[in-house]
């Protein structure tokens, strides 16, 4: 809330300053009929800055639900548009004989948007000064000390504006990124298997109900694959647990590479894995299962002198199923594959 109040105060100050400057610039017209140019000159910056205040406050309050999501690229584009509009209004000032005071809040606003792009900000600020000085000379007007001071103050305002934002916002952004990284690490520790990188059983137990409920509610096809590495105890007993870990990681990587991004795979326990294949018919599910089986059989794992294979059991969602029964049926088909010689897919 403190950040919100400070931002609103700064933006309101910029808006009121720009409005007062535009009223001052148009005061000579108040004693005579107001021309279209002077009316545009007075209203355009006020409307632009008022819109900026509304969008900025909306972004601060609603964040993810804001009207416009400001990424780094969109801020740069918005700054360039603001630069063009500022220069257009300043050109109107020069043509009508007024001092282009709007260059000050214009450069300040641009510096706030481009604080983390110093080269672009510096280029636009210098370009603004050069264009205004050139316009003054083209109109056969002298570069007075007041005019030069205005341009110099605009450059200083651009620099100090960006520096102020950098010193206050950059540490906050760095801290937020650090917190996001820490939260992601905590999430991985809670829901990822540290050895294989797949989801763990805890995550699967929490996710299964959502996957199952969605499939039942929308009558979507859902298949469960139970996988088990054949003769894995032999690997640990004869080759050691370090080699066994390498086998688990290689099999997990193969599983992850064979399923779709919409599917969910987890290490169910020991050398056993579970996969939920969503919105796929029996033919596609069988293709994925056989691709996993063939991919594992083709592995050449260092330190393992025999082929590593897996057995797979598949069960599809049927009317009247509950999630425990669906997983249990896939597990029964897994044992069918084991009893029929291993390195096979059962359940179709």
Q: β-strands 310-316, 222-229: how paired?
A: antiparallel
**Which phi and psi angles does 272 have, rounded to 5°?**
-105, 140
Query: How confident is the model over 41-60, as a mean pLDDT?
Result: 58
The domain boundary residue, chosen from 185, 217, 240: 185
State whether 149 and 228 are in the same domain.
no
Distance CA 346, CA 334 (A): 7
Q: Which of residues 143 and 54 earns the better pLDDT score?
A: 143
Total domains, the chain: 2
- Report the SS3 class of residue 276: strand
Looking up residue 277, the CATH number of its domain turns out to be 3.30.70.270
The pLDDT assigned to 127 comes to: 92
State whether 177 and 222 are in the same domain.
no
Encode pLDDT of 235-281 as tens digits.
Answer: 999 999 999 999 999 999 999 999 999 999 999 989 999 999 999 99
Q: Which of 114-128, 217-231, 315-329 has the lowest mean pLDDT?
A: 114-128
Range of the domain at 71: 2-185
The pLDDT confidence band at residue 69, using thresholds 50, 70 and 90, is very low
In a domain, 194, yes or no: no
State whether 235 and 332 are in the same domain.
yes
Told to judge if 173 belongs to the known catalytic residues of this protein, a careful annotator would answer no
Query: How confident is the model over 10-36, as a mean pLDDT?
Result: 53
**Which phi and psi angles does 341 have, rounded to 5°?**
115, 0
The pLDDT confidence band at residue 171, using thresholds 50, 70 and 90, is low
Mean pLDDT rounded to a whole number for the chain = 81
Which residue carries 């740069």 as its tokens? 76
Q: Which of 163, 185, 220, 271 is catalytic?
A: 271
């Amino acid at each position: 809330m403190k950040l919100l109040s400070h931002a609103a105060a700064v933006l309101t100050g910029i808006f009121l300053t720009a409005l007062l400057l535009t009223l001052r610039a148009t005061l000579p017209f108040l004693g005579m009929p107001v021309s279209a140019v002077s009316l545009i000159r007075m209203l355009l910056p006020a409307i632009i800055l008022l819109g900026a205040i509304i969008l900025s406050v909306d972004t601060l309050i609603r964040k993810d639900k804001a009207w416009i999501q400001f990424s780094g690229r969109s801020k740069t584009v918005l700054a360039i548009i603001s630069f063009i509009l500022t220069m257009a209004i300043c050109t109107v000032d020069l043509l009508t004989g007024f001092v282009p005071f709007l260059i000050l809040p214009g450069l300040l606003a641009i510096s706030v948007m481009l604080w983390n792009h110093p080269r672009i900000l510096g280029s636009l600020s210098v370009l603004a000064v050069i264009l205004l000085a050139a316009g003054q000379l083209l109109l056969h007007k002298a570069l007075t000390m007041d005019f030069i001071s205005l341009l110099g103050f605009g450059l200083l305002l651009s620099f100090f504006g960006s520096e102020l934002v950098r010193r206050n916002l950059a540490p906050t952004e760095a801290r937020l990124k650090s917190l996001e990284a820490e939260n992601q690490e905590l999430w991985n520790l809670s829901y990822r298997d540290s050895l294989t990188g797949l989801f763990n059983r805890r995550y699967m137990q929490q996710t299964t109900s959502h996957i199952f409920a969605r499939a039942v509610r929308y009558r979507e096809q859902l298949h469960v694959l139970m996988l088990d590495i054949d003769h894995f105890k032999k690997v640990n007993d004869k080759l050691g647990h370090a080699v066994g870990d390498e086998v688990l990681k290689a099999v997990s990587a193969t599983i992850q590479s064979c399923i779709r991004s919409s599917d969910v795979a987890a290490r169910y326990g020991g050398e056993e894995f579970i996969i939920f294949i969503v919105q796929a018919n029996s033919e596609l599910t069988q293709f994925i299962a056989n691709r996993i089986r063939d991919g594992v059989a083709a592995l050449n794992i260092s330190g393992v002198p025999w082929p590593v294979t897996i057995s797979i059991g598949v069960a599809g969602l049927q009317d009247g199923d509950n999630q425990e029964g669906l997983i249990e049926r896939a597990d029964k088909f897994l044992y069918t594959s084991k009893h029929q010689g291993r390195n096979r897919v059962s359940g179709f």
